[in-house]
Structure 1
Amino acid sequence: MNNPEDLKLVTLATSTLTRSGAQQAAALRDNTGRTYVAINVASPELTLDACEAVLTVALASGITGIESVVYAGTESARIQVIKAFDTSASIFYFSPEGQTHAL
């Protein structure tokens, strides 16, 4: 990860994770440079991982493309929702050990 804008997404995702106490947090930058954050939702009525939640928030704002997504916390099995929306989106996982993995 060499893009300074992606490093900002790491900061957004990790600070949201810490502040919220959630299992996962994700930060998304759209193709206009706007950023969005979300956490996972786990209730009997609704379950979203952080990637699904951040995409939902971004879609509500009318995004047309995704540049990059960083998620932190427990690993997500649902990154395919990001790739289904924009196949060119970069996706990174920031592990609890502090390592960034491109997906």
Structure 2
Amino acid sequence: MPDTPVAPAARSTPSGPVTELGAEDAKLVVLARGARGRVGAVEGAAVRDQDGRTYAAANVALPSLTLTALQLAVASAVAAGATRLEAAVLVTEASTLDGAGHAAVRDLAAEAPIHVAAPDGTLLGTVAE
């Protein structure tokens, strides 16, 4: 699956950004940044399931196994019994959402927002489809 373009997070106005993350989604950004930073990974991700439980992960790149951070976060949620996701966050230096991670989130949530943030936590955009 090809990479998905990320819609801009917000348009600036004189009073500041039009859109900001709610507290629960902002927490996912913190968790994803932490997962990325702990191991010096290229990307980190976090998801929140239907019960409000959160799962964070970093990308895995081994000779025998490659997983995006979103794939691993979703897999962790499913392994813990999640059947639906409320939201997802990917922290990355890329300006697109990887196709495999996007597909993994959509397996459990057709319309949950997938927020993409820069390594410093700045929201780059949101994919809602």
| TM-score, scaled relative to structure 2 | 0.73
Structure 2 Cα separation of the partners of residues 102 and 85 of structure 1: 17
Match of 1:27 among 39, 46, 56: 46
5+ unaligned residues in a row in structure 1: which ranges? none
Letter in 2 for 1:2: L
Post-superposition offset of 1:98: 4.1
Letter in 2 for 1:102: T
Post-superposition offset of 1:89: 1.5
Structure 2 Cα separation of the partners of residues 63 and 3 of structure 1: 22
Partner of residue 66, structure 1? 85
Matches within 5 A, 1:28-43: 28-43=47-62
Structure having the higher Rg: 2
Question: Does residue 85 of the first structure (1) align with residue 108 of the second (2)?
Answer: yes
Post-superposition offset of 1:6: 0.3
Count residues in correspondence.
Answer: 103
| TM-score, scaled relative to structure 1 | 0.90
Post-superposition offset of 1:71: 1.1
Post-superposition offset of 1:97: 5.6
Which contiguous aligned blocks of 4+ residues in structure 1 show a shift greater than 6 angstroms?
Answer: none
Q: Which has the higher contact order (CA 8 A, sep 6+)?
A: 2
5+ unaligned residues in a row in structure 2: which ranges? 1-19
Q: CA RMSD in A?
A: 1.5
Match of 2:73 among 54, 63, 70: 54
Partner of residue 99, structure 1? 122
Against the structure 1 CA distance between its residues 98 and 37, is the aligned structure 2 distance closer, same or farther, given a 3 Å change threshold?
closer
